Chains A and B, each alone.
Chain A
Amino acid sequence: MKENVASTFVFILLLFLNTNLLNGQSPPGKPEIFKCRSPEKETFTCWWKPGTDGGLPTNYTLTYHKEGETEIYECPDYKTGGPNSCYFNKKHTSIWTIYVIVINATNQMGSSASDPRYVDVTYIVEPNPPVNLTLEVKQPKDHKMYLWIKWFPPTLVDSRTGWLILQYEIRLKPEKAAEWETHFAGQQTQFKILSLYPGQKYVVQVRCKPDHGFWSKWGPESSIQIPNDFTMKDAVWIFVAVLSAVIGLIMVWVVALKGYSMVTCILPPVPGPKIKGFDTHLLEKGKSEELLSALGCQDFPPSSDCEDLLVEFLEVIDSEDQQLMPAHSKKYPSQGVKHTHLDLDSDSGQGSCDSPSLLSEKCEEPWANPFPFHTSEGIEKPESPETNGTPTWEPQSTGLEGKMPYFHAGGSKSAWLLPQPPKQHNPRSSYHNISDVCKLAMGTAGGSCTLVDKTDTHALKSSKTTETGGEEKAGEQREVESSHSQTDPDTAWLLPQEETPFISAKLLDYVEIHKINKDGALSLLPKQKETSNQTETPSTPETSKEYAKVSRVMDNHLLVLVQGPCPQNLALFEEPATGAPSSLQQNQAEKDLASFTASPSNCKLQMGGLDYLDPACFKHSFQG
């Protein structure tokens, strides 16, 4: 029976609760105190945020107790601070004391309490903004005008007795501007602004901060119109400025109209240079050759077209009187060589030290025409080179460092000379490259041609020194020598296939290396012997142009060039090759030669002296 009563009671209670839940009613959610502030360190207010009210009217109460006391008090004033607030007046406020505050939310269903909040009034001081902001534009005599800003501390704060010391900050800006200009004013209640734009309307705001507390909000805006600062002085200056501008314009206009005559009056023209016999009109129209012939100059300068300078072949003569003659170039027109430019017939074919360098700096065009190295029977000079084992071209030992001609062959094993097709060999006018020449030379004279390997320079030097029997060769000189000793172990044939007896070891004459075509033919020009003799001055390397003679080929990839007796430039062609030079086989050498690629740098040939050939000149010729 009792059990029945108990169970029914529980059942009814549950039913009651459930019905309430079905209605959506529940005890209130937890409220939360979110802010407590004191405007003057004498009173303070706390605001809370109610939780869910559970669908029922909820009553909120605030209870607190103070540090050092056990008594619990209730909020003395719920009204002054607005809804959901509690205001503690002076009587109820103690500074340097912690308040423990709790909000209780109660409704029909139940109640909930917020987390206790610990508040010390000392650290929650945030005053109201300053009041009575006044603006005034003051314009003292003979002084710049300024804006005088004045304000009063907020009403509640007691700064007179020193209870709360305030510091102020003002900010202002022209009405339309975007950014404020802020100034800190310390403890004073006035401020002067000097930097003003006249004619603008300014807005000003001020705020304050207690010595240990938070900044107040910015006070209400106050605006003022700055008058235009226009004085008589300014007017005068403006007038003067306008007048001078007008005068300036008039002068410009006059000058434009009669400019030239005036200018010639003031600044007489400088006479241009005049050269006797020089026809300026000819220059303007210009075939340069006509012009230069008028000047009495022959064969100079070479035309800008590299191809025009191409000499098809070179005749190598073995006697002293014989020169390398490109005279046969006309017989081989298939290459389309334009050789009208070179009046080589008049050139006795002998190398000339003074001959201009025919390798222009713009030599990046593909070498359309083979650059044949033509050797004639005359290029046979077995004896003298063999005997002394030294090429006729003495390397210059001094002052040529860095002036050695060499190829920058970008790290690839490529020769700057390609083997010529055999069919073009011709006893009288065959196309050969240096290696051919070397080979021929070696074949006839027992010398060797080598392309100097960059990496092997030192080896080469040493070998050279040994080979040449102690010739003085300074550090970095590399030479292409033709050593005429067949027993030289280091030497190897660069180009193999044919041996033609045309190239004689007697490469005594100087050949100007004109061009190297894409087939690898070396185009050489005979030097002028007369001029070479005349200009042979060992001490002036810069003034004379050097042409390298291929003295021998070494190691299948080293072309040893020897400098002529003329100027001291040593032509050295080197080629970076991997591997030991001595191990190169002929085929390998051929491959090397075939795959020559030059680095794409500019030709660094100097007009004053042929220092080296930059393989970049021949880049296009040797691609593939």
Chain B
Amino acid sequence: MKMSKVYKANIWGREGCRTSRSSLAKGVSRTITTMDSNRLSLKAGSLPLLLLLVSNLLLCKSAASLPVCPSGAANCQVSLRDLFDRAVILSHYIHNLSSEMFNEFDKRYAQGKGFFTKTINSCHTSSLPTPDDKEQAQQTKHEDLLNLVLTVLRSWNDPLYHLVAEMRGLQEAPDTILSRAIEIEEQNKQLLEGMEKIVGQVQPGVKENEVYSVWSGLPSLQIADEDSRLFAFYNLLHCLRRDSNKIDNYLKLLKCRLIYNNNC
């Protein structure tokens, strides 16, 4: 078919999988809408188109490991595998930092104060529909999972910024905690960028709404009472540790699923 020839040529073309897939997706969506309108009748040309789309997706995945582009090229495409590798490294690193930061803060400021008992149900991202165990995560579609990751990352932009700002004013904040906070803020931005690239590759052309959870804990970070203020920090660090673990776990799942086909 004429259409199929066009698409086939585009898979290995310069543009790579992204544009071919996006155009294929457009074609399929058009087919589907026409299918819907006609409901039960399948157009004759839609089936091969569908087959083509599926094969494209499958082939594109393997072709997604195209060689990494040389640096400096303008419209270069880093392969999905490399993007995921990088994203996983970042998320792993961020969680390590948050964990260490939390432990240090706990050791230094929160001993014997029973803070942990009060942190129940206090994270601003707990309302997000994130999967809570392996089965749920495996049943979530990768696009949704990716979007969830993006949402969580975006929800942390603001709190991280304020965390760093307020921590500078924290009495006798050890350098290690502050430096880690600064590092996490920076790496979070990078991870967000990388995720957006990944989403751009995996879900090209889909423009999702920028959803994120609003954080309203700033006043509690600036409260006069020292103990309450410390608890506000403690709580924020606890939530950060948890969410960074979530993101890390989801990305590793996605990487094994999308790149290695569940055969890590």
Contacts and interface: CB of A to CB of B under 8 A. Distances in A.
B246 interface: yes
Given A68-B121, A163-B249, A163-B253, A94 B133 contact: yes
Contacts of A42: 133-134
Contacts, number: 69
A160 B116 contact: no
Contact of A98 (B120, B134, B135, B255): B120
B126 interface: yes
B133 A161 contact: no
B242 interface: yes
Nearest to A65: B120
Contacts of B137: 163
A161 B121 contact: no
A249 interface: no
Contacts of B135: 90
A50 B245 CA distance: 34
A160 B256 contact: yes
B245 A162 contact: no
30 contacts: A41-B134, A42-B134, A67-B121, A68-B121, A68-B126, A90-B133, A94-B133, A95-B134, A95-B249, A96-B130, A96-B132, A96-B245, A98-B120, A100-B120, A116-B117, A158-B134, A159-B264, A160-B263, A160-B264, A161-B138, A161-B253, A161-B262, A162-B253, A162-B255, A162-B257, A163-B252, A163-B253, A211-B248, A212-B99, A212-B245
Interface residues of B, number: 31
A165 B264 CA distance: 9
B264 A161 contact: yes
A543 interface: no
A486 interface: no
Contact of B242 (A93, A96, A100): A96
Contacts of B120: 67-68, 98, 100
Given A67-B121, A161-B264, A162-B256, A211 B92 contact: yes
Interface in A55-105: 67-68, 90, 93-98, 100
A90 B137 CA distance: 13
Given A161-B138, A161-B262, A212-B99, A97 B256 contact: no
A116 B119 CA distance: 14
A93 B136 CA distance: 12
Summarize B's interface: helix, strand, loop or mixed.
Answer: helix
Contacts of A90: 133-135
Interface residues of A, number: 25
Contacts of B142: none
Contacts of B242: 96, 120, 122
Interface of A: 41-42, 67-68, 90, 93-98, 100, 116, 118, 120, 122, 158-163, 165, 211-212
B95 interface: yes
Interface string B108-120: 0000000011011
Given A161-B264, A212-B245, 12 more contacts: A42-B133, A90-B133, A90-B134, A93-B133, A94-B132, A95-B132, A95-B133, A96-B245, A98-B119, A122-B242, A122-B245, A162-B254
Nearest to A43: B133
Interface in B176-221: none
Contacts of B133: 42, 90, 93-95
B5 to A, nearest CB: 37
Contacts of A120: 242
A442 B24 CA distance: 131
A622 to B, nearest CB: 69
Contacts of A159: 264
Contacts of B255: 162
B76 to A, nearest CB: 27
Contacts of A41: 134
A541 to B, nearest CB: 69
A67 B123 CA distance: 11
A165 B134 contact: no
A66 B264 CA distance: 32
